[in-house]
Amino acid sequence: MKSPNNDYEKMEELYELYEQKVYYAAYSILNNIQQAEDVVQETFITLYRHLEKLRNLNNQELKRYILRMTKNKAIDSYRKNKRQELLLEECQRESTEVTDGNIGEWEQRVMSEVQIDTLLKTLKESYKQVFKYKVFYDLNYQEISKLMGITGMNVRKQFERARKRVLTIIGGSQNDELKGLKKNG
């Protein structure tokens, strides 16, 4: 049976050893003090919940485990915050009521979104992810690289391949949303 005192001491020791490292790892991904602090808190709460599993790890394994967990939580936080920002922007843009006067325009936009979703289903998962981050979320190669845990060169190559595939599929389409892809790689 484990002792609550022993758990407290172990958590205190882990916090003293890794708090700064966890914070810097989170901040390097998020570039936001409050979000990085939230990730630190989430990381240590999760560590506490899995304290039994940690007892079997040596120092190097423990450090890798903690920093990997931090990175994953920071990436999740980054994605969540980016999604919320985009959703807010979308809501603000669509806050104008759909009226008889603009219903045709609204239907056209919905159809375009359905066509784009269908088109993206033809891409490999990693290409689709890179393509979405670049085109829809307007992230640069470095940001995508951090999010996906791959090199910037790999991100650039995957985006180029996805872009080529999309352009091949749409061919001579006059869809304004996708036309810009030819020059904006």
**Position with higher pLDDT, 156 vs 137:** 156
List domains and CATH numbers for the chain.
4-83 (1.10.1740), 99-182 (1.10.10.10)
Q: Is the pLDDT of residue 168 over 50?
A: yes
Q: Is the pLDDT of residue 39 over 70?
A: yes
Residue 36, token pair as written in the block: 């990085």
How confident is the prediction for the chain on average, in pLDDT? Answer: 79
Instruction: Note if the pTM is more than 0.85.
Output: no
**Position with higher pLDDT, 112 vs 142:** 142
Average pLDDT over residues 46-62: 88
Q: What percent of the chain has pLDDT over 90?
A: 26
DSSP per-residue codes, the chain = ---HHHHHHHHHHHHHHHHHHHHHHHHHHH--HHHHHHHHHHHHHHHHHTHHHHTTS-HHHHHHHHHHHHHHHHHHHHHHHHHHHHHHHHHHHTTSPP-TTTHHHHHHHHHHHHHHHHHHTTS-HHHHHHHHHHHTS---HHHHHHHHTS-HHHHHHHHHHHHHHHHHHHTT---HHHHGGGT--
Q: Is the pLDDT of residue 1 over 90?
A: no
CA distance 135 to 159: 10
The label of the residue with tokens 């999010």 reads 147
Q: Is the pLDDT of residue 179 over 60?
A: no
pLDDT band at 139 (very low <50, low <70, confident <90, very high): confident
Radius of gyration of the chain (CA): 22
The label of the residue with tokens 């359905």 reads 114
CA distance 86 to 104: 24
